[in-house]
Chains A and B, each alone.
Chain A
Amino acid sequence: MVAVQTKLPTQVSHVRSTNMTENTDHTQLCEWLKAVAENRCKISFTHLFKFFAPKIQRIARSKFPNEAQAHEVVQDTMSNVWRKAHLFDSNKGAATTWVYTVMRNVTFDLLRKIKNNREDNLSDDIWPIAENAVAEDHSYEDHLENKQLLRVIEALPVPQQEVVKGFYLMEMSQEQLATHLNLPLGTIKSRLRLALVKMKVQLGEEHD
């Protein structure tokens, strides 16, 4: 085990992977994990390491004050993946989800260790982020469910609204739809209105 750990590369890429989903081949990840579990396949493990290490590194880096601890999370997570690959069950979820859980547990362990060493260093919650900042007014309590937040979004200039709404609601704006269909906004508006009227008539007829 220790031998495996020391063989892991310590230099981890800091390049931000912005399109994680784009290149994620879940079947491939599952196959690699299986190969590690059944045949202790080092090549498959190298592939897994290349895929997961930068992501784990990046997440861990923001939870810990220094680089070394983030590296430790990467090392421990990946060595646990090596040791526990046989526990992964592809029927129960994606490989990414499983590795994420392993990483989470490693992070908890490390934070507990740090906490024992230096009581004042960090809280035992690994995600201390927004909680304290927003606790007073609960303005984020239910995310977009919160009507106040929606009102704030409505008050934003249109481009910003789109960024916020697009991100959370995944819904296109009328402007985006007009651009996409290469039609004037007015045409889109009347088309939407007409379509909804038509639909109401149809549904109404059906329900009578």
Chain B
Amino acid sequence: MHNKTVNLPLFPLSIFLLPGGITRLRIFEARYLKMVSLATSNGGFIICPDIDNKSEQLAIWGSWVEIINFDQGDDGVLEIDVKCKTLVQVNQVDQNKEQLHFATAVPFKHWAENESSVAIPLLMDSLQSLVESNGLLKDLYDHNLQLNPYWVVARWIELLPIPFDVKNSFIYESTYSEAEKLVSSIIAEQL
């Protein structure tokens, strides 16, 4: 899957989503409803923050997501649950007639895709109780919580109230131990 160029629709949203992460999106704009219909047949789409500044930047990354569920909100708006399968580096962005952006992108491996059986019980238990107490998170993750420490730390990085550019620094392969330290120092530090 990695290193193979793909061309997929782009959904501009400042959301931090690592491989394995699930989020719910509300889709109400016509062009993005079209995108959803394209995504169902073409293997997903890319969520990418900061599309406005894209042309000047070279190293832009996005989350390649697949639609895993759909529903309709109380207000009638289409809600889709998407799960990130991998991160991608966005190399080029084009816009079609319907103002929908398409990205030419190359998937790259992220530490959130790693697996290990060495559990981190403090962070895992805390995440589990958070998921159980939050309606939306429960909807999205219930029965799918993993013990894999990479998975647990990735979910914490997504959820913690830390600045976006700090989160951004955790997209590189070598940053797992920093991420784990950061999450531990916030969640599990004994005072």
Which residues of B sit under 8 angstroms from A140, Cβ to Cβ? 28-29
Which residues of B sit under 8 angstroms from A17, Cβ to Cβ? 71
- Contact-residue bracket for chain A: 35 or more
Please measure, in the bound complex, the distance between the C-alpha atom of A180 and the C-alpha atom of B181, giving whole angstroms: 19
Cβ 8 A contact of B70, one of A96, A141, A202: A96
Q: Is A208 an interface residue (CB 8 A)?
A: no
Determine the main DSSP class of B at the interface with A. Answer: mixed
| Given A142-B51, A144-B13, A172-B161, CB of A21 within 8 Å of CB of B81 | yes
Which residues of B sit under 8 angstroms from A198, Cβ to Cβ? 181-182, 185
Which residues of B sit under 8 angstroms from A142, Cβ to Cβ? 12-13, 51-52
| Given A96-B70, A129-B28, CB of A170 within 8 Å of CB of B159 | yes
Interface residues of B in 97-138 (CB under 8 A from A): 126, 129-130, 133, 136-138
Q: Is the CB of B161 within 8 A of A174?
A: yes
Q: How far in angstroms is the closest Cβ of chain B from A204?
A: 11
Indicate the member of B40, B51, B140 with the most A CB atoms within 10 Å.
Answer: B40
- Contact-residue bracket for chain B: 35 or more
Q: Which residue of A lies closest to B30 (CB)?
A: A131
Interface residues of B in 52-110 (CB under 8 A from A): 52, 66-72, 76-78, 81
Which stretch, A36-44, A152-160, A188-196, touches the partner chain B?
A188-196
Please measure, in the bound complex, the distance between the C-alpha atom of A181 and the C-alpha atom of B49, giving whole angstroms: 30
Which residues of A sit under 8 angstroms from B130, Cβ to Cβ? 172, 180
| Given A22-B139, A100-B40, CB of A192 within 8 Å of CB of B161 | yes
Cβ 8 A contact of B40, one of A22, A101, A166, A202: A101
Q: Is A6 an interface residue (CB 8 A)?
A: no
Contact with A along B1-29 (1 / 0, CB 8 A): 00000000000111111000001101011
Q: Which residue of B lies closest to A173 (CB)?
A: B161
Q: How far in angstroms is the closest Cβ of chain B from A149?
A: 11
Q: Is A199 an interface residue (CB 8 A)?
A: yes
Please measure, in the bound complex, the distance between the C-alpha atom of A54 and the C-alpha atom of B47, giving whole angstroms: 30
Cβ 8 A contact of A170, one of B23, B43, B71, B133: B23
Q: Is the CB of A58 within 8 A of B72?
A: yes
Q: Which residue of A lies closest to B140 (CB)?
A: A21
Q: Is A92 an interface residue (CB 8 A)?
A: yes
Which residues of A sit under 8 angstroms from B23, Cβ to Cβ? 170
Indicate the member of B67, B72, B77 with the most A CB atoms within 10 Å.
Answer: B72
Q: Is the CB of B187 within 8 A of A94?
A: no
Q: How far in angstroms is the closest Cβ of chain B from A176?
A: 8
Cβ 8 A contact of A196, one of B77, B129, B136, B166: B166
Which residues of B sit under 8 angstroms from A141, Cβ to Cβ? 29
Q: Which residue of A lies closest to B70 (CB)?
A: A100
Q: Is the CB of B66 within 8 A of A93?
A: yes
Q: Is the CB of A127 within 8 A of B13?
A: no
Q: Is the CB of B136 within 8 A of A166?
A: yes
Q: Is A84 an interface residue (CB 8 A)?
A: no
Q: Which residue of A lies closest to B184 (CB)?
A: A195
What 7 pairs between A and B have smallest CB-CB spacing?
A130-B28, A195-B185, A131-B30, A62-B76, A21-B139, A127-B33, A145-B12
22 A-B pairs in the complex with CB atoms less than 8 angstroms apart:
A19-B138, A20-B69, A20-B139, A24-B69, A59-B72, A59-B78, A97-B70, A130-B28, A143-B29, A145-B13, A145-B14, A167-B136, A169-B15, A170-B159, A171-B158, A172-B159, A172-B161, A176-B161, A180-B129, A192-B161, A198-B185, A203-B178
